[in-house]
């Protein structure tokens, strides 16, 4: 007698409709990846995407991360599509350039980090304090570009020489940083400190001597030269290197020079600036500063009190105002006190 056929409507889990299991080696039977029966089918169906259902949206978290949000809650977060980062707030105004003032009359901003790195020499809040507490430099912010000619001016003790030594790396700042784009050639006040040989030709290379106009004095003794010639020879020594100097710094280079020697030195410095070197000169000579510099920085008590074009600073009374303050001890000078001050300065006892 033939076996009865299965009834209609019986599910696939009916043992009568179930195919015989294929035996595996070792007596094992295969197991469905989703399990057996209706539970496994439900698990498989849950993994099939349903048409018309949107994928979970991603909302921006205030901390910068993305948070998963269900589709029906996406509208509450202001999201309609896929992932999108929150827009950055626009800046209220552009950054002011160096030396600019805002609409509210704010002070000029300090040079930015990119500007300091692009400069040949930059001082960023440089302080130099002795152990006793006296400060020679007080938060100096200064940047010198390539090809620029800067004159540092101010009375004795203002910090000009100390600033140049920091720029050359001979001294380390107590606070702040110094940025250098290359080698700094520093010429100190006494040129005799650089003269070590018996012959001018042995002090520097022919190219360096020609750069300062001393190529015809190669057989002379260095100490037989004039003051201006020795100053130029010392400049040739500090410039004589395999690496070209990015900055040429000179400390009181015109001491003992006549007008002709000053003009020759100014011409050499103009030529070095034309080749891309930054020129920084510490001087008390306003005539030399006006001839060699296109920018004057005035210092007092370790601070920069004036910084601008040479014509503006020298003609505006800034430099001579500090000299007058030195005579009057910083006091306001009234017309009635003028005769007494002049007499005291001349060593005459006023009546």
The pLDDT, as a whole number, for residue 280 is: 97
Report the C-alpha gap between 213 and 264 in whole angstroms: 9
The pLDDT, as a whole number, for residue 65 is: 43
Report the C-alpha gap between 36 and 22 in whole angstroms: 15
Q: What is the full per-residue pLDDT of the chain (351 aa) written as tens digits?
A: 455 555 544 444 555 555 555 555 545 555 555 455 666 666 766 665 554 455 554 544 444 444 444 444 444 444 444 455 555 544 444 444 433 333 344 444 455 544 444 799 999 999 999 887 789 999 999 999 999 999 999 989 899 999 999 999 999 999 999 999 999 999 998 889 899 999 999 999 998 898 888 999 999 999 999 888 898 899 899 988 878 899 999 999 988 788 888 888 899 899 999 999 999 999 999 889 999 999 999 999 999 999 999 888 887 665 555 554 544 454 544 545 555 655 565 555 444
Closest CA to 312 of 295, 291, 292, 289: 295
Pairing mode, strands 135-144 and 149-153: unpaired
The whole-angstrom distance between residue 110's C-alpha and the CA centroid of its chain comes to 10
Contact 301, 135 (CB under 8 A): no
- In sequence order, the 6+-apart residues with CB closer than 8 A to the CB of 185 are 238, 239, 241, 245, 247, 248, 249
The pLDDT, as a whole number, for residue 213 is: 85
The pLDDT, as a whole number, for residue 23 is: 52
The pLDDT, as a whole number, for residue 264 is: 85
In the chain, where the domains are located: 116-316
Phi, psi of 243 (to 5 degrees): -95, 125
Q: Give the per-residue SS3 of 161-222.
A: HHHHHHHHCCCCCCEEEEEECCCEEEECCCHHHHCCCCCHHHHCCHHHHHHCCCHHHCCCCH
* pTM score above 0.95: no
CATH tag, 116-316: 3.40.50.300
The pLDDT, as a whole number, for residue 246 is: 94
Report the C-alpha gap between 76 and 70 in whole angstroms: 10
Taking each helix axis from N to C end, the angle separating 318-328 and 338-346, rounded to the nearest 10 degrees, works out to: 80
Q: Give the per-residue SS3 of the chain.
A: CCCCCCCCCCCCCCCCCCCCCCCCHHHCCCCCCCCCHHHHHHHHHHCCCCCCCCCCEEEECCCCCEEEECHHHCHHHCCCCCCCCCCCCCCCCCCCCCCCCCCCCCCCCCCCHHHHHHCCEEEEEEEEECCCCCEEEEEEEEEECCCCEEEEECCCCCCHHHHHHHHHCCCCCCEEEEEECCCEEEECCCHHHHCCCCCHHHHCCHHHHHHCCCHHHCCCCHHHCCHHHHHHHHHHHHHCCCCCCCEEEEECCCCCCCHHHHHHHHHHHHHHHHCCCEEEEECCCHHHHHHHCCEEEEEECCEEEEEEEHHHHHHCCHHHHHHHHHHHCCCCCCHHHHHHHHHHHHCCCCC
């Amino acid at each position: 007698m033939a076996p009865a056929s299965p009834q209609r409507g019986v599910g696939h889990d009916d043992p009568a409709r179930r195919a015989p299991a294929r035996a595996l080696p070792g007596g094992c039977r295969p197991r469905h990846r989703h399990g057996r029966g209706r539970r496994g089918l439900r698990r498989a169906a849950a993994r099939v995407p349903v048409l018309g259902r949107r994928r979970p949206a991603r909302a921006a978290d205030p901390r910068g991360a993305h948070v998963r949000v269900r589709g029906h809650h996406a509208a509450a977060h202001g999201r309609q599509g896929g992932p999108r980062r929150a827009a950055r707030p626009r800046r209220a105004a552009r950054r002011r350039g160096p030396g600019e003032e805002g609409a509210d009359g704010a002070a000029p901003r300090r040079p930015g980090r990119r500007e300091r790195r692009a400069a040949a020499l930059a001082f960023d809040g440089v302080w130099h304090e002795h152990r006793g507490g006296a400060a020679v430099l007080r938060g100096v912010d200064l940047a010198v570009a390539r090809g620029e000619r800067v004159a540092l001016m101010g009375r004795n003790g203002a910090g000009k020489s100390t600033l140049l030594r920091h720029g050359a790396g001979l001294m380390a700042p107590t606070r702040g940083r110094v940025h250098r784009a290359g080698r700094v050639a520093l010429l100190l006040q006494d040129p005799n400190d650089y003269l070590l040989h018996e012959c001018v030709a042995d002090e520097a290379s022919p190219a360096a001597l020609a750069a300062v106009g001393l190529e015809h004095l190669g057989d002379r003794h260095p100490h037989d030269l004039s003051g201006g010639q020795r100053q130029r020879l010392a400049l040739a020594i500090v410039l004589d290197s395999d690496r070209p100097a990015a900055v040429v710094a000179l400390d009181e280079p015109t001491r003992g020079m006549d007008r002709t020697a000053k003009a020759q030195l100014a011409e050499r410095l103009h030529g070095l600036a034309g080749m891309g070197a930054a020129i920084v000169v510490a001087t008390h000579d306003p005539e030399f500063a006006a001839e060699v510099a296109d920018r004057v920085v005035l210092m007092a008590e370790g601070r920069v009190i004036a910084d601008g074009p040479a014509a503006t600073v020298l003609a505006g009374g800034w430099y001579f105002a500090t000299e007058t303050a030195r005579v009057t001890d910083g006091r306001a000078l009234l017309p009635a006190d003028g005769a007494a001050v002049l007499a005291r300065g001349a060593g005459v006892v006023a009546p």
